[in-house]
A and B are shown apart, each in its own frame.
Chain A
């Protein structure tokens, strides 16, 4: 390099890419959120195969048929743990958890697909297992919001349901959840 060059240190550029979205919910998600705030979990039931999608998609991707408000179907706020992970958090950017926490998939009674990423309370981590029966712990009505629900697929319940707690019921039969384990 010529004499004009000065740097011998290895410079590092810290660059935070931040993308903010503001989106109007689709009519289907509007109804989904209205129901959540009301303490109900609704999806769409395919008129052809009977699969229940929560939230509704407006179509059944298996049968390729449209689903509408007429196909709205309320599922239970009780369900079965199909699988789970105990995550020991590392302090990466944005991670707010500091202690090991549960990330469980819950198959709500009446739904055809898991609700992912749910906390399970009322049971020690080493007692968690697939098949456990759980029920939603709802936030107080005045604290329920649409936050976290988006048109991009991850219709969440985190803004209305804090966690799922063990009901104390006997475990579900394996046939209930064996097709829903990742």
Chain B
């Protein structure tokens, strides 16, 4: 029997999402090359900011600037990125704690090679040329 046919198909869902004061504040900050977290009821700074306190459910509204540099916690190396990945060459997904923050955020680290990666390494943000109100306005992090 000959090779089975392979058919290609694409489903697309266009979303337009109104961001509100907290997530909108975070992305407005990225546009100005600033990283904003939010202060929770117990005084911790959560990044990216949450609209509600994860422990008490209280509404949160005190945005706090953190970073710009940060520290890598755990990480994993992506050797063969797909078209959906944030970078078109090998990179790391990492948990990064910006200076002054109490939580880590998942993001890409463009370190060039896996040998440059280590837990505890210092990183700094690289900004997207033109902001478009998405998390990749902070394009990725790079070794500081």
Contacts and interface: CB of A to CB of B under 8 A. Distances in A.
B7 A25 contact: yes
A1 B63 CA distance: 7
A21 to B, nearest CB: 5
A5 interface: yes
Interface residues of A, number: 33
A93 B28 contact: no
A2 B19 CA distance: 19
Contact of A150 (B7, B12, B25, B28): B7
B134 A15 contact: yes
Interface in B5-45: 5-21, 23-25, 27-29, 32, 36
A26 to B, nearest CB: 8
B7 A11 contact: no
Contact of A33 (B5, B8, B19, B64): B5
Contacts of A24: 4-6
B28 A6 contact: yes
B103 interface: no
Contact of A16 (B9, B12, B19, B61): B12
B4 A27 contact: yes
B62 interface: yes
Interface of A: 1-2, 4-7, 9-25, 27, 30, 33, 93-94, 146-150
7 contacts: A4-B36, A4-B65, A7-B21, A14-B14, A17-B14, A18-B13, A146-B5
